[in-house]
Amino acid sequence: AALMALAGENEFKIRAFENGARVVESYKSDIELLAKQGRLESLQGIGKGLAEVIRELVLEGKSQVHETLKKQIPPGMLDILRLPGMGVKRVQLLATELDITTLGELEYACVENRLATMKGMGQKQQAR
């Protein structure tokens, strides 16, 4: 879902994927069996499109949707997203306001004290 948000996907689609992930994580039985039987849509909140993505992930270990999204986003943005306190909105803000898409660029911006004055960032965030 984070990849979708960084790529600028529709908010409703992002929410559907987040909900679907929770459904799959909380499913007590064998999700692989449901995928093989083509019954993922029987789970509440799992529609046809999401069921196909889950099926690909479960049976093939990857998803075309995921691979396409990864190609749309600079890889460094995912590294920044993994930092404590850095959510999708902050990563997008760094990319749009300061053209920061890598950890190196972020570190350099911190050394130059550029994050401290940014709205949504500030001194505490820069210190992290």
Residue type, 79: D
| Global confidence as pTM | 0.71
Residues listed for the chain: 128
Could you write out the three-class secondary structure of 41-69? HHCCCCCHHHHHHHHHHHHHCCCHHHHHH
Q: Does 2-71 match 74-127 in CATH topology? A: yes
Interval 73-88: pLDDT, tens? 998 999 999 998 888 9
Interval 41-51: pLDDT, tens? 999 999 999 99
With tokens 């749309």, the residue in question is 72
User: Which superfamily does CATH assign the domain made up of 2-71 to?
Assistant: DNA polymerase beta, N-terminal domain-like (1.10.150.110)
Question: Residue ranges per domain, the chain?
Answer: 2-71, 74-127
- CATH architecture label of 74-127: Orthogonal Bundle (1.10)
Structure tokens at 58: 């479960």
